[in-house]
C-alpha cells in the first residue's frame, strides 16, 4: 500500500498505461483510490463487476469493458513488467535491455549491481536504482506474480531479427548476463554457429 492518494494514483496510472489497461482515467482512479478499492497495481486483478457497479455513472457495459481490459493484461512480457514497476530511471529501453540479458523475472530479481553495470546503457546509478527498486517492490512483485503470468523474454526468430548466419561464436569462462548455454541458444536461434573450440573459422 502506498502513501498519499496522489502517489497511489500516479503508480496505478503508470502501471495501467505500461501494461495496456485502458479505461481507467484519472477520475476513475481517484474514485477507486478514495474508496480504497485500488491501493496497489495488484488490486486491478481483484476487481469484480459487483464492486464496480457500486459507483455512480458505472453501468454494466462499462464495468465489463474495464474488467475485459484487466483480463487482457493478465499476461505481461518481462520487459513490459519491469517498466510497469515504475522504478526510477528504468524506462522502456532499459527494461528491454534487462529482459534480453536476464530472460526471466527471477533472473532480473537476482541480478546484482555488478551484473547490471556490465550491460549496455546501464551505469552505476541505474544499476543501484534497479536493485533497490526491485527490493522495495518485493511484496508488490509477489502480489502481481500471484495474479498474472510474466512471460520470459523470447529471442526473435522472425526474418526481421538480426541474422548471424555464416558467423561462428565461442563462449568461454563465465558470462555476466546469462549462462553459456543460453548464449549459445541465442546464437543458434539467429542462424549462427556456437563452436566448441578455437579454430580459424571463428568469427
Instruction: Report whether pLDDT(14) > 60.
Output: yes
pLDDT at 159 over 50: no
pLDDT for residue 35: 95
pLDDT over threshold 70, residue 113: yes
Per-residue model confidence as pLDDT tens digits over 30-49? 999 999 999 999 999 999 99
Q: Measured over all CA atoms, what is the biggest interatomic distance in the chain, rounded to whole angstroms? A: 74
Pairing of strands 149-151, 168-169: unpaired
Q: For 60-77, how does the pLDDT look when each residue is reduced to its tens digit (9 = 90+)?
A: 999 999 999 999 999 999
Nearest to 175 by CA among 114, 131, 93: 114
pLDDT for 3: 59
* Statement: residue 166 has pLDDT above 80: no
In degrees, rounded to 5, the angle at the alpha carbon of residue 97 between the alpha carbons of residues 96 and 103 is 80
pTM (predicted TM-score): 0.75
The predicted pLDDT at position 190 comes to 67
Cβ-count burial 5-40 (b if 16+ within 10 Å, e if not): eeebbebbbebbebbebeebeeebbbbbbeeebbeb
Q: What is the pLDDT of residue 167?
A: 78
Mean pLDDT of the region 139-143: 97
Amino acid at each position: 500500500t502506498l502513501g498519499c492518494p496522489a502517489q497511489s494514483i500516479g503508480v496505478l496510472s503508470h502501471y495501467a498505461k505500461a501494461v495496456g489497461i485502458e479505461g481507467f482515467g484519472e477520475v476513475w482512479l481517484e474514485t477507486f483510490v478514495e474508496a480504497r478499492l485500488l491501493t496497489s497495481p495488484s488490486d486491478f486483478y481483484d476487481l469484480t463487476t459487483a464492486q464496480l457497479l457500486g459507483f455512480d455513472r458505472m453501468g454494466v457495459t462499462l464495468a465489463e469493458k474495464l474488467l475485459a481490459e484487466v483480463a487482457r493484461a493478465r499476461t505481461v512480457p518481462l520487459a513490459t513488467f519491469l517498466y510497469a514497476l515504475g522504478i526510477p530511471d528504468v524506462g522502456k529501453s532499459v527494461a528491454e535491455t534487462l529482459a534480453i540479458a536476464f530472460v526471466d523475472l527471477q533472473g532480473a530479481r537476482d541480478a546484482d549491481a555488478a551484473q547490471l553495470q556490465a550491460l549496455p546503457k546501464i551505469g552505476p546509478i541505474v544499476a543501484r536504482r534497479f536493485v533497490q527498486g526491485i527490493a522495495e517492490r518485493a511484496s508488490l512483485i509477489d502480489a502481481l506474480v500471484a495474479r498474472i503470468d510474466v512471460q520470459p523474454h523470447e529471442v526473435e526468430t522472425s526474418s526481421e531479427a538480426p541474422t548471424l548466419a555464416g558467423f561462428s561464436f565461442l563462449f568461454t569462462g563465465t558470462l555476466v548476463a546469462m549462462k553459456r548455454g543460453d548464449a549459445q541458444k541465442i546464437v543458434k536461434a539467429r542462424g549462427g554457429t556456437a563452436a566448441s573450440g578455437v579454430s580459424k573459422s571463428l568469427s
